[in-house]
């Protein structure tokens, strides 16, 4: 390993859409990390964008080298577990794009292997730092909405034609729930902790879709419901967030702009990066509406958290293995719920549930009654 003040030598495994669009610019924006290697079968394509990196043909060739400290896995979902397993056993720190794994058992296996090898293992959850979520989270935590009893969170697309790519194919890890569900679940758990039960419906609604392209999932908490929604057939008109509490409602109409900015080639150090001109509308229930400016998005914090974890600095930005296990349990419970037609409890121990301590606990019935009486 390099001296503590030397750049952390980072290898990216996979140079498809996610690797090129998200990981490369966010890695470059993180002081202390140096992207030095890329695993790809297309060296010319990589060098056209990144002339200074070393391109290696496969994971085995990468792990045989001694000049790599951390590997970032941006390969197809079904490769996450075997590649992460090999990298941890080779003594590398590991970052895995979402979804962490394809099963709860695999998530626990990788968590245990990271502990056994003493390596840092983190999951890439860049949407923790979207402007829309940061603003909604700030309002929820401030108490301005009172006790939040109902939150709706959507990530939608409008892609009516099924495309020939693994994300939309009937392969392990394919489908919209494993693509967008990890973001929706992680955000919900950051706000409210692990739910008691999960009630989900997954469907393929586009003509010819071989795997689900629509997901509706209700996280059940005492005195609270969180609705997560994702679809490939929404052209517009649905708010990104709607949050209802005992003191008011907050609505965020438009999503964070960082993905669009990255697609357009804007980098995190550019003017206007993460800016969100769409305010959050705060309704007080008496006909008054306040326009609350959305915070600036900062997805580059994802890798600052990875860097600090490797250097032993306190930083809770990057998703930990314990949190990844909890997310996987909720994802898996949703799949079981959709299959069985009933609400399913996430298969977590009490210790595992504590990986996401709720910052906004739901009030008990007694607390509700006391507050109602006090208000009268």
CATH number of the domain residue 223 falls in: 3.30.360.10
Say whether both 119 and 135 belong to one domain: no
Record the tokens describing residue 289, joined without a space.
């509406």
For residues 216-237, average pLDDT? 97
Answer yes or no: is pLDDT of 367 > 60.
no
- Among 74, 108, 124, where does a domain finish? 124
Q: Which is more confident, 361 or 30?
A: 30
Answer yes or no: is pLDDT of 372 > 80.
no
- Among 90, 124, 158, where does a domain finish? 124
Our count of domains for the chain comes to 2
Burial of 145 (C-beta count, 10 Å sphere; 0-12/13-18/19+): buried
Q: What is the pLDDT of residue 121?
A: 98
pTM: predicted TM-score of the whole model, two decimal places: 0.93
Q: Which is more confident, 375 or 193?
A: 193
Record the tokens describing residue 216, joined without a space.
């509706």
Q: Note whether residue 364 is domain-resident.
A: no
Query: What percent of the chain is modeled with pLDDT above 90?
Result: 89
Distances (CA, A) of 354 to 111, 127, 160, 224, 273: 15, 21, 40, 18, 34
Q: What is the pLDDT of residue 371?
A: 47
What is the spatial distance between Cα 337 and Cα 108, in angstroms, rounded to a whole number? 21
For residues 174-191, average pLDDT? 97
Answer yes or no: is pLDDT of 376 > 80.
no
Q: What is the pLDDT of residue 360?
A: 53
Q: Looking at 17-26, 98-107, 309-318, 365-374, which range is the least confident one?
A: 365-374
Q: Note whether residue 361 is domain-resident.
A: no
Say whether both 249 and 286 belong to one domain: yes
- Please write the tens of the pLDDT for every residue from 189-217: 999 999 999 999 999 999 999 999 999 99
Q: What is the pLDDT of residue 375?
A: 44
Say whether both 259 and 119 belong to one domain: no
Highest mean pLDDT among 4-8, 68-72, 165-169: 68-72
**What DSSP character marks residue 294?**
P
Q: Nearest-CA neighbor of 243 among 135, 344, 341, 353?
A: 135
Say whether both 101 and 139 belong to one domain: no
Q: How confident is the model at residue 315 (pLDDT cuts 50, 70, 90)?
A: confident
- Please write the tens of the pLDDT for every residue from 17-46: 999 999 999 999 999 999 999 999 999 999
Q: How confident is the model at residue 359 (pLDDT cuts 50, 70, 90)?
A: low
Q: Note whether residue 306 is domain-resident.
A: no
**Which CATH number belongs to the domain containing residue 35 in this structure?**
3.40.50.720
- Please write the tens of the pLDDT for every residue from 283-305: 998 999 999 999 999 999 999 99
Say whether both 171 and 91 belong to one domain: no
Q: Nearest-CA neighbor of 349 among 119, 150, 126, 111?
A: 111
Q: What is the pLDDT of residue 170?
A: 87
Q: Note whether residue 304 is domain-resident.
A: no
Q: What is the pLDDT of residue 209?
A: 95
Q: Note whether residue 207 is domain-resident.
A: yes
Say whether both 98 and 142 belong to one domain: no
Say whether both 224 and 257 belong to one domain: yes
Place of tokens 């990216």: 12
Say whether both 163 and 26 belong to one domain: no
Q: Note whether residue 109 is domain-resident.
A: yes
Say whether both 21 and 107 belong to one domain: yes
Answer yes or no: is pLDDT of 78 > 80.
yes
Answer yes or no: is pLDDT of 374 > 80.
no
- Among 95, 124, 153, where does a domain finish? 124
Q: How confident is the model at residue 234 (pLDDT cuts 50, 70, 90)?
A: very high
Q: What is the pLDDT of residue 358?
A: 64
Place of tokens 């908490």: 221
Q: Note whether residue 23 is domain-resident.
A: yes
Q: Note whether residue 311 is domain-resident.
A: no
What is the spatial distance between Cα 189 and Cα 156, in angstroms, rounded to a whole number? 20
Say whether both 44 and 152 belong to one domain: no
User: Strand, coil or helix: what is 199?
Assistant: strand
Say whether both 135 and 216 belong to one domain: yes
Say whether both 81 and 176 belong to one domain: no
Record the tokens describing residue 269, joined without a space.
């150090």
> Containing domain of residue 112, as a range?
8-124
């Amino acid at each position: 390993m390099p001296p503590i003040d030397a750049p952390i030598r980072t290898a990216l495994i996979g140079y498809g859409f996610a690797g090129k669009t998200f990981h490369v610019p966010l890695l470059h924006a993180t002081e202390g990390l140096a992207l030095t290697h890329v695993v790809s079968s297309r060296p010319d394509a990589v060098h056209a964008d990144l002339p200074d990196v070393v391109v290696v043909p496969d994971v085995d060739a990468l792990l045989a080298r001694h000049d790599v400290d951390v590997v970032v896995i941006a390969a197809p979902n079904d490769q996450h577990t075997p590649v992460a397993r090999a990298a941890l056993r080779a003594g590398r720190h590991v970052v895995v794009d979402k979804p962490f794994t394809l099963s709860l058992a695999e998530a626990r296996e990788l968590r245990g292997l990271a502990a056994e090898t003493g390596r840092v293992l983190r999951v890439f959850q860049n949407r923790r730092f979207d402007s829309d979520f940061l603003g909604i989270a700030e309002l929820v935590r401030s108490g301005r909405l009172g006790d939040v009893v109902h939150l709706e969170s959507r990530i939608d697309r409008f892609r009516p034609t099924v495309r020939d790519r693994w994300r939309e194919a009937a392969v392990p890890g394919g489908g919209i729930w494993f693509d967008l569900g990890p973001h929706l679940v992680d955000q919900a758990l950051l706000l409210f902790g692990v739910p008691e039960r999960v009630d989900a419906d997954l469907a393929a609604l586009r003509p010819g879709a071989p795997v689900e392209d629509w997901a509706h999932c209700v996280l059940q908490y005492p005195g609270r419901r969180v609705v997560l929604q994702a679809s490939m057939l929404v052209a517009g008109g649905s708010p990104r967030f709607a949050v209802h509490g005992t003191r008011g409602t907050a609505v965020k109409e438009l999503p964070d702009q960082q993905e669009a900015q990255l697609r357009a080639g804007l980098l995190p150090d550019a003017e206007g990066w993460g800016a969100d001109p769409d305010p959050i509308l705060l309704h007080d229930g008496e006909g008054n509406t306040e326009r609350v400016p959305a915070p600036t998005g900062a997805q580059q914090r994802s890798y600052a958290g990875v860097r600090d974890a490797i250097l032993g600095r306190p930083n809770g930005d990057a998703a930990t293995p314990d949190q990844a296990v909890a997310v996987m349990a909720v994802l898996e419970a949703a799949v079981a719920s959709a299959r069985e037609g009933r609400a399913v409890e996430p298969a977590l121990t009490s210790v595992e549930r504590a990986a996401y301590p709720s910052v906004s606990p739901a009030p008990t019935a007694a607390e509700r009654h006391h507050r109602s009486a006090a208000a009268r």
